[in-house]
Structures are given as structure tokens and as C-alpha cells.
Amino acid sequence: MVVPESQEKIYHPPPDLQRDAHVPDFSSYLEMYKKSLENPEAFWKEVADEFFWKKPATGPMLQYNFDVTKGNIFVKCMEGAKTNMCYNVLDRHVKEGNLGEKVAYYWEGNSPEHHKTITYGQVLSHTCRCANVLKQLGVKKGDRVSIYLPMIPELVYTMLACARIGAVHSVVFAGFSSESLCERIMDAQSSVLVTADGVYRGDKLINLKQISDETSWDSDRDVWWDEAMSDSSEECEPEWLDAEDPLFILYTSGSTGKPKGVVHTVAGYLLYTFLTFKCVFDHQPHDVYWCTADIGWITGHSYITYGPLANGASSVLFEGIPVHPHVGRFWEIIEKYRVTKFYTAPTAIRLLMKYGQEPLQKYDLSSLRILGSVGEPINPEAWQWYYEEVGQGRCPVVDTFWQTETGGHVLTPLPAATPLKPGSATFPFFGVEPTILNEHGEEVEGEAEGYLVFRKPWPGIMRTVYENHERFENIYFKKFPGFYVTGDGGRRDKDGYFWITGRIDDMLNVSGHLLSTAEVEAALTLHPDVSEAAVVSRPHKVKGECLYCFVTLKDRREFDKKMVEELKKMVREKIGPIATPDFIQNAPALPKTRSGKIMRRILRQVARNERDLGDLSTLSDPKVVEVLFSQRSEAA
């Protein structure tokens, strides 16, 4: 890792940011990084000292096996220690840190007229009440609680209430369908579901309770939040948990189609979200931080709920969407709360770019200091616009690469330390050791392109797939023994900068959310008139990638507009609106190898209208491809 001297345009950290930064320059970064790898024990011990431990650890800061040939895969952080996440992110600030009156969240509703300010003291009392309600409902340590709520403060209270009593929360994004919700409740075997009657997203009403439950209200079973909370006490002793007890499950798409319940544990996740938030956003006491993600995704778990609260930060919690009631809403909110650190996704940037400079110019964005990006590679055009127009050339853009599985940022610039190359997630965070492997699993020195893998764990990495440790080992550790395999392709350039080149499995990234082609195919083939379906990605101006579906119909059915509508509806109902296909094409037959495997490479090229097909020798019937190209224009 070196400060590059090349011809490429490099963006250096602004000196005024460097003055008080936690990691003030590149040599400090290198020094700390070196320490984190050479002496992880001392490095993470220092971080752990920030927090309250009911009992100290008996084991080392990190223990692990990453090599399937040597036994089961495991990671443990601070074995033997006892603590409580909720205590550390709330009580510690209120009781020890005098932050009871400090704002934890500026809640901003879907409508600009709805907003409120919530202090740390208030979050603590609501959380304790909610914890007592859950206990009254019979929830005990280790039980799972599913949460299907929009971006309202009650979502944060419920997560923290679970953490307080040792229940394991499983938040399901409020845009998912009833079937997806059902699948996640069943897999987690949750005993309680916390939901809301409904929410407006822009002009659209989403009836969450109706989705949760086709029958409306069941007085033998359901309890109203407000009634239960008002009868409940504000005192609730935290449950002291083992460092390696589970904190939450969060489902993410799996390439077989069945979502994976990613499990994160208490101590490691606390240390890692705390430190990444502190360093990557260079957290300072007077900051107003805003992450626009939904808490239903890992970005919200780590960087709206736990990371910011662990740091005692003040955050904006936004219920709405970027274009309601007008396309300047984001900029209006930045001005309203004087936001200093702003974290969003390339898809949102590309959407807002379309409306030009005018909506931006109406608002005062001079409070901004650092900008962040997450979810997919940021294209140079979007990067430039973000940096020049939103950040007015003054704010570093931290392009944070990570996954639901990694718990927190793993490749990322540090704003006052790292010279930026637009489009690169730059260098590893502390304790993280990335490398690039070729097809044979060999490490390639220097400039390299291949599989992005990690050699050792950091405290925040996932511990298992819920109730399926074998699947965990197979997905992430089988391919290259000794390494955690991300599923992403990566490139390391001559200066040591990392660039993400895209997924190398059958996953695609729509608006920063991973979907598996298999889950969409499974939804399509549920239609009684479909005999076979294959789904590939196609580039999309705003979403990054979109779904292009090929369907083979049974003889009895014509491919027409009505059919396309039925199929889109099917996918929406099965998975949710984010998975709605952009294109569906009739495929009288699919291109297959002689052994019957669908050749997705060819389908991707049909979807993109790339006619230079290269080697087709394994294709069993070349005529199929001509037919697909000739029928392309009829895709709807």
C-alpha cells in the first residue's frame, strides 16, 4: 500500500479534516493497520476497554479456524466475557457518559411535517418498556423475535429491547412480501412478530399488518404496541450474555434461492461496528450523521442502530424516500439538521443526478464534511457528481465495501488518511487481510485480478448460517481452504488499491440489494404455464443491474402482455417489489450444454444484445441462440 504517484487523478484528504481526525494521515493508518495484524490481541483489547464487561474474557480477543481441511470453521471473540449490547450502547452513555439529554435520533417522517427528536435517555426508557412487554409475552433469552417495521423509532427500540433481554432479533425489510416474511419467520422459528398497521412510502400506503396476516386483527393473539407499552415499567435489568451469544439473524439472498440466516454475535459485532463507524466517518461529538439505508438491511443494523449508538452519535432516522414530496428532499433534510456525515448508495445518487443541479442549489449543504457510498461499485460519473456537486469538492467520499456477512466495512478509505481513486474501495480496515486468488486458489502478488478473499477473521464477521453450519462452511470456506470467500471478483492495482469487479456467483445486485437468480427463477416457475425459466442481469442506468428473464412456456399458453403481467405479479408476491423483472423474454428453448446445463453467459449476451458470442463449442443446439436474438425486441 503506497500513496500513488501515478497519472490518475488522486483525491487527497482535506487538511482541515486531518487536524482532529482519529486517523489523521496515511502513515498513521499504515502503523495502526500493521499493529492490528501483528498484535490483534493488544489492538482489539484497547477497543474492548471502551465498553462495560460484567465479566472479563477468559479467552483471547480472537480465536478461529478458517481451514475446512483442519476441522470445523469457527470464530470466537473474547470467549468467557459477559456483557450486554443494549447496556453498552444506551445505559453506558446515559449513566456513565452524561449523554442522557443528547439527541440519539432526529426522526424525519415520510411527510416533512412529521418529525421528532429523541434523546439517549428516551431511547433507553422506551427500550426498557418494550423489553418488559416482550418478557410479558413470554420471550426469553435465546428466543427469536421477528420485526417487520418501517423506519420508525419503534424499530430501534424493539431491536435494542431484544438485545437487552438476550432475544435474537430477525428484522425483515418492510418491502418484502408476505411469503418472504413467512419464510423468514419459519426459518428462525420466531415466537413473536412485531409489526405496524401500515406506513406511507411517498404516496403509497403499505399495509404491513394486512401483509403479515390475511385476517385483520385477532384479539386472542394480537396486542397493540401503545397499550402494552403504557402499562409497562421503565426498569429492566439487562440480561448478561456470553460474548459469543447470538445478537441477531439477518437474512440475505443465497445462490441456491433459499435465503441464508446470517448470525452475528454480541461482543465481536459491538467492537467492530463501533470502531468502523468511529474511523470511517471520523466520528466527532457534534456530528449529525445520516445514513439513508433502511434498517431492514445490514447497512441499517450496523450504521443506523448499533455503530452510531455505540459511539454516542446523533443520527437522522428517515422514514421516507428521496423524491417525496419533491426531488430535493435529501438536500432539504441535510440543511434542516445541518448534517455533517452523509452515507447513501450509488443507486440513490444516480437517481438524483437525473434532476440536475437545481434541486441541490436550493439548499445549504455547507455543513457536510464526509460522504459515504455503499452497496455496489460506484461508477465514475456518479462519484464525480457526488464529490463535486453534493460535497462541493470539499468532502472525501468513503466507498465502503462490505457484506451482510462481514458485519461492517472491510475495504474502505479512511477520510483523513486515504488518498482516493474514484471507484476503488481502496484498502482494508484494521484487522482485515484481503487477498486475490486465481482459479487454482493461488495467491497472486502485486497487480492481480481474481477472487476476493480474506485470510483471517475480524471481530464482526458472521459466525454461522442459522441452524445450518454446514451451509455456512460450504458457501464461504469450501472453495479455497484457509480463506473466507466473498463471492466477489476483485482487482489489486499497482499501488495496492482494491477494486470490486462484480459478483462471480449467480447473484445480482439491484439497487444495492443482492438477489439470487435462482430465487427469481423459482418464483417464475411457480406459474402453472411456465416450464422453465432462466434469469440474468443486465446493466441499468439507475439500479446498477436489473433482471432480464427468459421463460419457456408450456404449449398451451401464448406469450403475450397478459402473461408478462402475470409473471411480474408472481415475482412481486413471492419476493417483493425490489425483485420485479424489468424484462421478460419468450424463450422457445434455452441454450444448454450437452450435459443439460443452462449457459447463462449466452443469455447475458442476448440480454445485452452482444452478438460476439465467442466459443460456442459446448452448446448443444446453436439454433436456439439465433431464435433468442431474433425475438429479443419482443421482450417486455
The amino acid at 119: T
To ligand WT7, the closest distance from the beta carbon of 536 in angstroms equals 16
SS (H, E, C) 573-627: HHCCHHHCCCEEEECCCCCEECCCCECHHHHHHHHCCCCCCCCCCCECCCHHHHH
295 vs 500, which CB is nearer to ligand WT7? 500
d(CA 623, CA 598): 15
422 vs 512, which CB is nearer to ligand WT7? 512
To ligand WT7, the closest distance from the beta carbon of 375 in angstroms equals 5
To ligand WT7, the closest distance from the beta carbon of 470 in angstroms equals 21
**250 close to 264: Cβ distance less than 8 angstroms:** yes
187 vs 376, which CB is nearer to ligand WT7? 376
Strand partners, 212: none
**141 close to 241: Cβ distance less than 8 angstroms:** yes
d(CA 464, CA 293): 25
Q: Which residues form the interface with ligand WT7 (CB under 6 A)?
A: 252, 297-299, 374-377, 399-404, 425, 486-488, 500, 503, 509, 512-514
User: What is the total residue count of the chain?
Assistant: 636
Percent helix / strand / coil, the chain, rounded to 5: 35, 25, 45
509 vs 586, which CB is nearer to ligand WT7? 509
To ligand WT7, the closest distance from the beta carbon of 412 in angstroms equals 8
CA distances from 592 to 55, 446, 550, 602 (A): 59, 38, 13, 9
Q: For cell 470502531, what's the residue?
A: 275
DSSP state of 14: P
- Structure-block grid coordinates of residue 362: 436550493
Q: For cell 417489489, what's the residue?
A: 577
d(CA 414, CA 125): 35
Query: Which of these, 320, 363, 307, lies nearest to 339 by C-alpha position?
Result: 363
To ligand WT7, the closest distance from the beta carbon of 351 in angstroms equals 17
**298 close to 322: Cβ distance less than 8 angstroms:** no
To ligand WT7, the closest distance from the beta carbon of 572 in angstroms equals 19
Q: For cell 487454482, what's the residue?
A: 440
In three-state secondary structure terms, 454 is strand
59 vs 423, which CB is nearer to ligand WT7? 423
To ligand WT7, the closest distance from the beta carbon of 262 in angstroms equals 8
396 vs 591, which CB is nearer to ligand WT7? 396
- Structure-block grid coordinates of residue 24: 489523521
Strand pairing category for 397-400 and 434-437: unpaired
To ligand WT7, the closest distance from the beta carbon of 123 in angstroms equals 24
328 vs 407, which CB is nearer to ligand WT7? 407
SS (H, E, C) 185-214: HHHHCCCEEEECCCEEECCEEECHHHHHCC
Nearest residue to ligand WT7 by CB is 404
d(CA 411, CA 380): 18
162 vs 262, which CB is nearer to ligand WT7? 262
166 vs 300, which CB is nearer to ligand WT7? 300
143 vs 488, which CB is nearer to ligand WT7? 488
DSSP state of 418: P
To ligand WT7, the closest distance from the beta carbon of 607 in angstroms equals 19
To ligand WT7, the closest distance from the beta carbon of 476 in angstroms equals 11
